[in-house]
Amino acid sequence: MITALAAAKAYGAAQKAMTVDPGSIGAGAASPAGGFGDILKSAMADTMKATKNAESQMTLQAQGKAQLIDVVTAVSDASQSLSTVMAIRDQVISAYQEIMRMPI
């Protein structure tokens, strides 16, 4: 189940990935930022970055070099990123199954 925070985070990431030049609105020009595949790559990269940050914070905490609140925050961010990617994956699978059920 996707939470409001995860949805807002995904929306923010998608909005950053699809920046539009104000001069190109109405001109019929395609967005230079790319397509759906680029959004997925960006989401996966953000998730991997958050996971690696959480792992490094846990290692630093075990060594006594990090505060517990930093570890909890990093793990929470990684969890939210993973939840977002899982929600996107579920929606893509659902869309694929819907397309496969369509009559020819």
* Domains of the chain by residue range: 4-11+34-101
CB-based burial of residue 54 (10 Å sphere; 0-12 exposed, 13-18 middle, 19+ buried)?
buried
pLDDT beyond 80 at 27: no
Residue identified by tokens 């930022």 is 33
Q: How much is the pLDDT for 43?
A: 87
What does pTM read for this prediction?
0.62
Report the percent of the chain where pLDDT is more than 90: 52
pLDDT of residue 34: 75
Query: Exposure string (b/e) for 17-34, b if CB count within 10 Å is 16 or more?
Result: bbeeeeeeeeeeeeeeee
Give the pLDDT confidence of 82-91 residue by residue, as tens digits: 998 999 899 9
Considering only CA atoms, which of 95, 58, 94 is closest in space to residue 74?
58
Sequence letter at residue 45 = A
